[in-house]
Structure 1
Amino acid sequence: MNVGIIGFGKTGKAVASVLLESKKTKLQWVVRRSRLLEHRSVPEFLGVESAEPGCIHSKEEFSADELFSRFPVDAVIDFSSESGLEYYGDAAADHGVTIVSAISNYQKTTLRRLHKLSKRTVVMHSPNITVGINFLLIAAKILKTIAPYTDIEVIEEHFKMKKEVSGTAKIIARTLGMEVESIKSVRAGGIIGVHEILFGFPYQTVRLKHESITREAFGNGILFAVENLKGKPKGFYSMEDLLLPYFKLQGSGSGWAEG
């Protein structure tokens, strides 16, 4: 699958390295706001051995329509900012390019625009596109449905300089019907990101915990997304939509070994 990336910050670079190393995708290009690094090769810049073009372009160089016409891709991956959609959204839909957005904070108007674009092409949005976090969210919802009487706490840990409460933690809290103000935050050292959901039963405790070790985890999520969006009809999808089919396990009774 040919892909392009919008945005080349810390996370965009980490995702690009994962895509370059994968045999499932071919990185055609990266688009960034700045003209710095223009026409550089992403593999060469990141020090990754790859024959993929991965050319860096600036938004000023081409319109999105020109970009998709000259360098066709099957999917565009957005790790830029909320305004990035203004650059490529309509052109992607016109060219039938799948949109995979990993922007964490969209205004309601921008989300509405994403939904509108999904009538013309395949669109997926995930504020945190790691497989682990989205698995955690589904598992937490299932556990709360099984045992709605449990005490629930959401704890998030991040690097010392991060001031605001984690956006992912807010999503977890809202998903579980909790007040955002109840989130417990820890700030220390260079922690990239830890999210934990604690379920307090009367006689047992269940902890669901996810830890981001490096930003490459977002790249793994992108690979999962583009692979599972293949062949999907036009429409709006979430990571939950892609993960839920994997929860339909074929069981043969008790998992306990006999003997």
Structure 2
Amino acid sequence: MKIGLIGFGKTGKSVASILLENKNFCLEWVLRQSTVLEHRSVPEFFGVHSDEPGLIYSSSKTTMQELLEKHPVDIIIDFSSNLGIYGYGEDAAKKEVKIISAISHYTDKELKLLKKLALKTTVFWSPNITLGVNYLLFAAKFLKKIAPWVDIEVNEEHFKLKQGTSGTAIKIAEALDVEKESINSVRAGGIVGKHEVIFGFPYQTVRLIHESISREAFGTGVIFVAENLIDKEKGLYNFEDILSPYFVV
């Protein structure tokens, strides 16, 4: 399966490294805003041997239309910014290229565009594309459904320089009907990211914890999503759509 990756920051690089390791996928190209590294290959950048082209292009010199004509792909993975969808969305949908977006924050305008694109191709969006976090979210919603009266606390811990409340923690809180203001945040040292949901039952406590060790977790999450999107029809999907069948007993 041929992959086009948009965004080559810290997370994009980690995702690219995981894609190169997986023989079921071929990283055809990377598109980024900067002209730095333009026309170099991703395998060369990492100093590894690979038969995958993985050429790096700059959006200031190459359009998405040109890329898809010369180097067609099956899936576009977006780790750029909330504005990235405007640069590739229409061209990808027109050619029925599947879209996997891992953008943390979209405005209502971008979400409306995703729904429009989903009429023409398969679109997946998750503000946090790690499998572990989404399993935690799914399991937490399942537990609350069993015991809607339970006391719930949401905690999140991140590196010292991270500003604002974690978007993932906010999503967890919204799913469990916990006030955003009630989220407990910790900023310290080199913590990559930790999310915890505490369920306070009478005489017992249940804790669901997810801790990120490195950004490569986003890469394994992308692969899981891509593998589960192969046979999906046109439409807009999220992690719950993909995980639900696994919970059928």
Shorter-chain TM range is over 0.9
Gaps of 5+ in 1: 250-259
| Distance in 1 of aligned mates of 2:229 and 2:109 | 24
Deviation at 1:214, TM superposition (A): 0.3
Aligned-pair CA distance for 1:47: 2.4
What is the CA deviation profile of residues 10-57 of structure 1, one whole-angstrom value per residue up to 9, with x for unaligned ones? 000000000000012100000000111000110110223321100000
Question: Residue 12 of structure 2 aligns to a residue in which SS?
Answer: helix
Secondary structure of the residue that 2:45 maps to in structure 1?
Answer: helix
Q: Are positions 1:135 and 2:135 aligned together?
A: yes
**Equivalent residue for 1:6?**
6
Q: Distance in 1 between matches of 2:129 and 2:248?
A: 21
SS at 1:80 equivalent: coil
Residue in 2 that maps onto 1:252: none
In structure 2, C-alpha distance between the alignment counterparts of 1:163 and 1:227, rounded to whole Å: 33
* Residue 74 of structure 1: aligned partner: 74
The one-letter code sitting in structure 2 at the alignment partner of 1:125 is W
Alignment map for 1:1-259 (pairs within 5 Å): 1-249=1-249
Give, as a single letter, the amino acid of the residue that structure 1 aligns with 2:14. A
Per the TM alignment, residue 98 of structure 1 is displaced from its structure 2 partner at its CA by 0.2
Check conservation: 1:17, 1:48, Cα contact below 8 A: no
Give RMSD over aligned pairs. Answer: 0.7
TM-score w.r.t. length of structure 2: 0.99
**Cα distance per residue 1:118-142 (max 9 Å; x no partner):** 0000000000000011111110001
**Structure 1 residue ranges (4+ consecutive) displaced by more than 3 angstroms after TM superposition:** none
Question: Aligned-pair distance for 1:61?
Answer: 2.2
Distance in 2 separating the partners of 1:60 and 1:22: 30
CA contact (8 A) 1:198 1:206 kept: yes
Alpha-carbon separation, structure 2, partners of 1:108 and 1:6:
21
When normalised by structure 1's length, the TM-score is 0.95
Alpha-carbon distance in structure 2 between the residues aligned to 1:18 and 1:103 = 18
Q: Which amino acid aligns with 2:82?
A: E
Aligned pair count reads 249
